Amino acid sequence: MPELPEVEVTRLSLAPHLMGAQIQHLRLGKPLRWPLGTAPERLCDLQVLALRRRGKYLLLDLNQGLLLVHLGMSGSLRFFATTPPPAGAHDHADLQTDLGTLRLHDPRRFGALVYAPQGERDPIAQKLLGHLGLEPLETAFTPRALHAGLQQKKSAIKQVLLAGAVVVGVGNIYASEALFLAKIRPTTRANRISLARATRLHAAIQSVLRQALAAGGSTLRDFRNAQGESGYFIQHAAVYGRAGLPCRDCGTPIRQLLQGQRSSFFCPHCQHV
DNA sequence: CACGGATCCTGATGGC
DNA sequence: TGCCATCAGGATCCGT
């Protein structure tokens, strides 16, 4: 469900509610991808100082340590200013604060809630964040930097984008969309992409992510922001989920293929090598 | 050590 | 209607 835009939309809608909140209780449901890494009681009385994002991770800076939240494939966060409704079968964490309750809903449980007592330099934070590539909407992400990163990778560009070691936050939907905009085939080896084409891809990634952000995140299935509202970007997808349908630019049927167990979509006419 | 594949889990969907 | 196979927005881990 969540790629960078969805996580960022979540962060933006959550920040005003969580800023300065004091944790009173943490209730955990079924296990998530990783254990919390501490006893839930240890978080009591800690205060939320800031809400940041790194790739698809949400980072809650506490006055002692850092709480990392990942939404996996099916996760979403909601904030309840008053008493939340009873937890459902897939509500696996309730972070109760003096300002309200942050609830993590995640049917597939690929998501995670992890406490790093020593903040970003904590080993667990290093393990999860240390290898991440550039933030696509920050100034360090330039056409040259993208090109340089791609030069190091021999795999297909689609898989390099998904891996997050060069640039973070681009998931399965936006990878296909960005490659279509840049007119690059998903199967092209990353190190065979010229500076000119990397420059197009750079612009395409930013354009696709910014559009999705402005639209409030995609809504392929059930993405909701912290207020429970859904976005609508996916209805404008150029290629994602459109196998067999005519390309919006040239009419050629969109093709679907499998790369690393993930579907890719592309127009065989508009996207060369 | 870089790469590709298997893997975690539940729900929705479509074919028979 | 029921049963089964397939697929879904992620990312780590493990074997080669």
What's the pLDDT band for A235 if we cut at 50, 70, 90?
Answer: low
User: What is the predicted pLDDT for the residue at A120?
Assistant: 96
Whether CB of A109 is under 7 Å from strand B: the answer is yes
Query: What does the pLDDT look like over A100-152, one tens digit per residue?
Result: 999 999 999 999 999 999 999 999 999 999 999 999 999 999 999 999 999 99
A262 is catalytic: yes
Q: Which of A88-102, A113-127, A231-245 has the lowest mean pLDDT?
A: A231-245
CA of A166 to C1' of B2 (A): 14
Nearest C-alpha neighbor of A3 from the set A219, A269, A230, A252? A219
- Measured CA to CA in angstroms, residue A243 lies from A25, A225, A240, A265, A266 at distances of 47, 28, 8, 7, 8
CA of A24 to C1' of C10 (A): 30
Segment A217-225 shows an average pLDDT of 55
Nearest C-alpha neighbor of A173 from the set A68, A65, A101, A264? A264
User: What is the predicted pLDDT for the residue at A223?
Assistant: 56
CA of A142 to C1' of C7 (A): 35
Segment A47-66 shows an average pLDDT of 98
Phi, psi of A246 (to 5 degrees): -70, 140
Say what the pTM is: 0.95
What's the pLDDT band for A216 if we cut at 50, 70, 90?
Answer: confident
First to last CA, chain A: 29
Give nearest nucleotide to A189 (CA–C1'): B3
User: Per CATH, is A4-129 categorized as 3.20.190.10?
Assistant: yes
Q: Cα angle vertex A65, ends A85, A105, to 5°?
A: 25
- Measured CA to CA in angstroms, residue A55 lies from A2, A15, A201, A261 at distances of 11, 17, 18, 21
Domain range summary for chain A, segments of one domain joined by +: 4-129, 143-266
Look at residue A56 and tell me whether its pLDDT is greater than 80.
yes
Look at residue A92 and tell me whether its pLDDT is greater than 80.
yes
Architecture in CATH for domain A143-266: Orthogonal Bundle (1.10)
A210 is catalytic: no
d(CA A180, CA A110): 28
A138 is catalytic: no
Q: Which nucleotides of B are covered by protein (CB under 7 A)?
A: 2-11
What's the pLDDT band for A96 if we cut at 50, 70, 90?
Answer: very high
Q: Which nucleotides of C are covered by protein (CB under 7 A)?
A: 7-13
